[in-house]
Structure 1
């Protein structure tokens, strides 16, 4: 990135702020930052790895902002975090081993399915509760092996590209857990932070970064993550779900038109 172009620098900083805010509440912040990095002249892989490192402070800031909602969730966060670490590392390795277009066809369908699950989550949850009640069973607080496997696979995708991974996390947790949407959002922020961090550490060893872009994204996303968490925690579940659907729909359109 040419430091002489002040407009480009401000655009990357602004994209970082917006992405940090969106990631803290919903996810898909990469769909804001990635096109800006490409427009500034960075090659796709350099833009991807710089984006992963630059958005880490925003993920951490968002997780800290939701720390009250994380209360009582340590055990399952540690369990899912281990899966996210493994998945994120695998996805980062795939980014360097596979062609850049490897996920392009399946990503819109994946995000679309996640949005359907988010919309239907209240209905699915009621049906599952009724079924468990008939059989005299209680919900597993960690969602069982199915949820762990799903979150780990979503983390593989997150380590590879990360666009809308937060929406996928919330969809999986909302379908298999009987819990408040804000608490699930808090966990989502932690998992995204884990995936971004492990992927960035992997890239530090094997890939080239644009450190100007990283610094701007880091500063912007840290501020945006705090702002997003402050706002997002006040949203009612129905409003938060609607926001997820709107952002996810925009993400699908952008992915299809790329």
Structure 2
């Protein structure tokens, strides 16, 4: 790789690790960058997911205090994310690459829309929770409805197949059904997303080793590892508008790029 390409990929990993910890959708930074640099879409998803595992660990470490306050909820939801991630990775590796070429633009469009409407969704969640007593110290005793497990499983499938914006989807589900604090929901989101990425990464190592671009994985891993710490420590001070704007622009670029390839 040329130096400028390495710097671009490394910075994309740093940015993705930061925003993954804060709101999710970091893959909408790294995936478009990799595709724009000429990497095959499926190979980009594989290398990207493996690299972002490091950022997931640093983000989870940053939210360890909040995670320790909801261990029962975490353990109840982990199997759903685990099984969903396995199925999603299986679909990515076994469906024809042409299928991904058609599905990816739709998923990118959905992810971009989620990023755009995330503030409105967050506002709705806060308004809904305002009428209910938020007791973070008792949140772990809550009995979650079956629908939550189904939705977390489906988000895991989505994350194992595409990875982008699964954090936003998880925050939406937790905001509606989980009556803890937003910080507790964020901690759960970070760890469940990490589990999905870990499962996907293990699947790629076992069944798609030849499709992994290790220099890209290393650059994204280093960048996202640092970004995860930044997101947990100081990321909340960054302008949400700037973060979302950057993600939306990159997502639209990726969308136009992939549609152009389909048309041609």
**Category of TM-score, reference length = shorter chain:** 0.7 to 0.9
Q: How does 1:1-258 map to 2 (within 5 A)?
A: 2=1, 5-98=2-95, 99-100=99-100, 101-105=102-106, 108-109=109-110, 112=113, 115=118, 116-126=120-130, 129=132, 141-207=142-208, 208-232=211-235, 253=252, 257-258=256-257
Q: 1:171 to 1:248 in 2, by over 3 A?
A: farther
Deviation at 1:198, TM superposition (A): 0.2
Deviation at 1:249, TM superposition (A): 5.7
Length-normalised TM-score, structure 2 = 0.81
CA contact (8 A) 2:88 2:159 kept: yes
Deviation at 1:152, TM superposition (A): 1.0
Q: What root-mean-square deviation, in Å, do the aligned CA atoms of Structure 1 and Structure 2 show?
A: 2.8
- The count of aligned residue pairs is 243
Length-normalised TM-score, structure 1 = 0.83
Cα distance in structure 2, aligned partners of 1:41 and 1:18:
20
Q: 1:32 to 1:248 in 2, by over 3 A?
A: closer
Q: 1:248 to 1:28 in 2, by over 3 A?
A: same
Cα distance in structure 2, aligned partners of 1:75 and 1:14:
36
5+ residue gaps, structure 2: 134-138, 258-264
CA contact (8 A) 2:111 2:164 kept: no
Q: 1:15 to 1:106 in 2, by over 3 A?
A: closer
Post-superposition Cα deviations, 1:192-216, rounded to whole Å, max 9, x if no partner, equal 1100000010011222100000111
Deviation at 1:49, TM superposition (A): 0.3
Cα distance in structure 2, aligned partners of 1:161 and 1:139:
30
CA contact (8 A) 2:32 2:254 kept: no
CA contact (8 A) 1:20 1:223 kept: yes
Deviation at 1:68, TM superposition (A): 1.1
Cα distance in structure 1, aligned partners of 2:246 and 2:74:
25
Q: 1:172 to 1:255 in 2, by over 3 A?
A: farther
